[in-house]
Amino acid sequence: FLSLVAEFCCGFFVILILGNFWFLAVLYLLWLYIDWETPCTGGRRSQWVRSWTVWKYFREYFPIQLIKTSDLSPNHNYLLGFHPHGVLVAGAFGNFCTGPSFKNLFPGLTPYLHIMPIWFGCPFFREYIMSAGMVSASKESVSYVLNNEGGGHASIIVIGGAEESLNAHPGSLTLNILKRKGFIKMALKHGAHLVPVFSFGENELFKQVANPKGSWLRNVQEKLQKIMGFALPLFHARGVFQYSFGLIPYRQPIHTVVGSPIPVKQNLNPTTEEIEELHALYLQKLRKLFEEHKRNYGIPEHKSLIFE
């Protein structure tokens, strides 16, 4: 989804260069050079963009809903781990980059959705995603957000990343998380409280071509992901006037459940053992969050999360 919009923006930039407006392209490149670090220093959000009416229709299409299970004090900074990635990451975008839901449920907190740094190199597209409240997922960017001394900042990181999107099949509950411990280290270094977030329905929006691990397709996708930095799942859903085939996501409800915070004491130089211990606790709390709410959102009793 992001890649399609990014391609459009890049195409528009190429038209400026090849057309009679090359001087505008040169001016923009100068601006890009001057503004290069902004995605790593809190971005440049626009409440006007975040409040566009189109986002209201976007949220209502599925629909998307944010569920609160515990208060989050604005006196602290938080690192929210979002699961699963899915294909569209609709729950993360709809709840943390558009509309008033997060602000109403968690007053005093400002959400920052961290995405891959590669997207901020795309002309014009970078301005749009920053205006929606997205910032880079680099260490520098996460540190900048969590360094707010007065608290009130919430970093949202899609823990499974691009690799996890290759598991985004309807009914899939597989999370790429066992080797992902960088977010744990960041939380410890900044004393940011950890909050598990599970988005029920995220994997139901598209059907993906079968790509079991070890298959030729999965091997190609994984190699491309390592080269380009983002995955290329082969997916389809419905069309505008028919439900058989197309790229419009299915209308499946998405319930993004925000769990209770795990208090984290600041530790500038955490040991491997301390990181492992907090990581294990996070997995425990994430699994508990899923088990407590799965019945409400159509998950069979016998199904549980699979950590890889």
Amino acid at 64: I
Cα gap 15→25, rounded to integer Å: 9
Q: Is 125 left (phi over 0), alpha (psi -120 to 50) or beta?
A: alpha
pLDDT tens profile 210-269: 999 999 999 998 888 887 777 788 888 998 888 888 889 999 999 999 999 999 999 999
Residue % of the chain over a pLDDT of 90: 76
User: pLDDT at residue 6 above 60?
Assistant: no
Query: For position 183, which CATH number holds?
Result: 3.40.1130
Verify that 10 and 155 share a domain, yes or no: no
Q: Kindly state whether residues 57 and 152 are assigned to the same domain.
A: yes
Whether 274 and 151 map to the same domain: the answer is yes
**Would you say 264 and 168 are in contact if contact means Cβ atoms under 8 Å apart?**
no
pLDDT confidence tier of residue 124, bands split at 50, 70 and 90: confident
The pLDDT score that the predictor gives to residue 17 is 67
- Same domain for 23 and 68? no
- 26 and 66 in a common domain: no
Are 25 and 142 part of one and the same domain? no
Domain count of the chain? 2
Whether the model pTM is above 0.85: yes
Residues 261 and 188 in one domain: yes
Kindly report whether the peptide bond that precedes residue 39 is cis, defined as omega within 30 degrees of 0.
no
* C-alpha distances out from residue 71 to 91, 154, 172, 195, 283, Å: 20, 13, 30, 11, 20
3-state secondary structure of 64: strand
According to the model, what pLDDT value does residue 243 have?
Answer: 81
One domain for residues 115 and 12: no
- Does 190 share its domain with 251? yes
Res 288: pLDDT: 98
Distances (CA, A) of 130 to 36, 118, 155, 211: 12, 13, 14, 33
Confidence of residue 16 (pLDDT cuts 50, 70, 90): low
200 and 174 within one domain: yes
Secondary structure of 38-61 in HEC code, one letter for each residue: HHHCCCCCCHHHHCCHHHHHHHHH
Alpha carbon distance 20, 69 (integer Å):
55
Supply the pLDDT for residue 225. 82
Say whether both 139 and 31 belong to one domain.
no
Say yes or no: 114 and 217 in one domain.
Answer: yes
Expressed as residue numbers, the domain containing 189 is 40-307
